[in-house]
């Protein structure tokens, strides 16, 4: 059955070869045909073909569904007291992860699935149609594997993050924990994961440990990505480029060599400005990356510690206001940039053939996403051609 979405005041195709030829490929007074879950036609509404069903959005802007390329949704408990302490002057450190690990281990499978599902539903209401979900709060063979099974029921973009931190029971022998992550834990998790990730940072894993972990995962067919250069300068970005990671996420503290390596390898820089907001830290310099030709994605990093927002419109607004991005660049980074980070070409845009994943805004232009921060502007979210 075909559906005509018409009366689109501004259609963001995400394809510069369409419409006005800009980065976002804007079409005005536009329409889009959805057939079998895909975009079958885009153009001016006056030229639209007949369809089985017609849905008139009365002048609204339509944008590609957001692609959230970084989240940690499988967890139990919450850390609002830690947030309040930070806002009273405490610094963020990787150590807080361990309190979520304890709560997650104590939760049942059903509790973890219900909570993660609720967060995905919350994301959908805010226009997110593709989300990457990591494990990383279990840190035993059993708890990492079940975290990934919970994630896999929600998204194909699942990431094994057994190397989030060294759990307390291995504090005396981190090497033994790396052996576990690259051995029995990898065996149990690989069937449920597409990606492998490691938190490469002081207090988590150093470059040699992170390299061993990413290469072990790569040998098992998992695709590397990394948490890098979040809390200070470090080796994570160079390692990402060395192992051919799809993305280096955080990228808050970068040297010139880091920027050059990202630009020359095509590794996507994933910026997570909700983290800087929620830890009251300096924002990454998106302008510097864009001007150097680096592909930039912007994502939520939704997690109970460093950033507990599920809202792509919120991080988009932060990217504009705090990181020097234009509204068009920020929308690109939350859609096509996220898709590049996940090596997906079927999402993040609305050209013919793409998945019909989109958000209808209560606004005439995509600019309102940054211009009206904090306002729930997503009126409808469509996933695979179906209104979610
Ligand atoms: O991406 N950096 C490591 N992991 C998360 C934080 C997790 C936590 O604090 O619970 C992040 O910021
Ligand atoms: Fe993260």
Pocket test for ligand 1, best of 306, 307, 309, 315 (most atoms within 8 A of CB): 306
Q: How many angstroms separate the CA atoms of 202 and 93, rounded?
A: 9
Confidence of residue 93 (pLDDT cuts 50, 70, 90): confident
pLDDT of residue 347: 98
- Assess whether the C-beta atom of 301 lies below 6 angstroms from ligand 1: yes
Instruction: Quote the percentage of the chain above a pLDDT of 70.
Output: 100
**Ligand 1: distance of its center to the CA of 358 in Å?**
28
Average pLDDT, stretch 109-124? 98
The domains located in the chain, with CATH, are 2-65+348-387 (2.30.40.10), 66-341 (3.20.20.140)
pLDDT of residue 250: 98
- Assess whether the C-beta atom of 159 lies below 6 angstroms from ligand 1: no
pLDDT digits (tens, 9 = 90+) for 299-313: 999 999 999 999 999
Confidence of residue 96 (pLDDT cuts 50, 70, 90): confident
- Assess whether the C-beta atom of 86 lies below 6 angstroms from ligand 1: no
pLDDT of residue 95: 74
CB 8 within 8 A of CB 31: yes
- Assess whether the C-beta atom of 303 lies below 6 angstroms from ligand 1: yes
- Asked whether the predicted pLDDT for residue 113 surpasses 80, the reply is yes
Average pLDDT, stretch 200-221? 97
pLDDT of residue 367: 98
pLDDT digits (tens, 9 = 90+) for 272-283: 999 999 999 999
């Amino acid at each position: 059955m075909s559906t005509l979405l018409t009366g689109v005041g501004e259609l963001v195709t995400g394809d510069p070869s369409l419409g006005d030829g800009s980065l976002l490929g804007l079409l005005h007074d536009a329409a889009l045909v959805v057939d079998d879950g895909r975009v079958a036609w885009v153009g001016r509404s006056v030229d639209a073909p007949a369809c089985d069903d017609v849905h008139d959005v009365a002048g609204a802007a339509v944008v590609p569904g957001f692609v959230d390329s970084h989240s940690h949704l499988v967890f139990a408990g919450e850390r609002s007291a830690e947030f309040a302490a930070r806002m009273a002057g405490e610094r963020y450190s990787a150590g807080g992860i361990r309190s979520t690990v304890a709560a997650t281990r104590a939760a049942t499978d059903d509790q973890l699935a219900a909570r993660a599902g609720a967060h995905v539903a919350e994301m959908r209401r805010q226009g997110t149609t593709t989300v990457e979900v990591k494990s990383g709060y279990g840190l035993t063979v059993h708890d990492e594997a079940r975290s990934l099974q919970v994630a896999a029921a929600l998204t194909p973009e699942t990431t094994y993050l057994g190397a989030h931190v060294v759990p307390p029971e291995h504090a005396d022998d981190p090497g033994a924990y790396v052996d576990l992550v690259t051995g029995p834990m990898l065996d149990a998790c690989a069937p449920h994961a597409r990606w492998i990730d490691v938190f490469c940072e002081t207090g988590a894993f150093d470059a040699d440990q992170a390299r061993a972990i990413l290469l072990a995962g790569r040998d098992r067919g998992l695709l590397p990505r990394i948490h890098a250069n979040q809390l200070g300068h470090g080796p994570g970005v160079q390692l990402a480029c060395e192992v051919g990671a799809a993305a280096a996420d955080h990228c808050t503290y970068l040297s010139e060599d880091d920027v050059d390596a990202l630009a020359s390898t095509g590794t996507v820089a994933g910026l997570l400005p909700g983290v800087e907001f929620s830890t009251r830290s300096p924002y990454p310099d998106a302008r510097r990356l864009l001007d150097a030709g680096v592909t930039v994605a912007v994502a939520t990093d939704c997690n109970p510690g460093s950033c507990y927002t599920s809202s792509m419109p919120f991080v988009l607004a932060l990217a504009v206001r705090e990181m020097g991005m234009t509204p068009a660049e920020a929308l690109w980074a939350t859609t096509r940039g996220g898709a590049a980070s996940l090596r997906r070409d079927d999402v993040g845009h609305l050209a013919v053939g793409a998945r019909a994943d989109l958000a209808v805004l209560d606004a005439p232009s995509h600019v309102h996403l940054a211009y009206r921060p904090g306002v729930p502007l997503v009126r409808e979210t469509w996933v695979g051609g179906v209104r979610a």
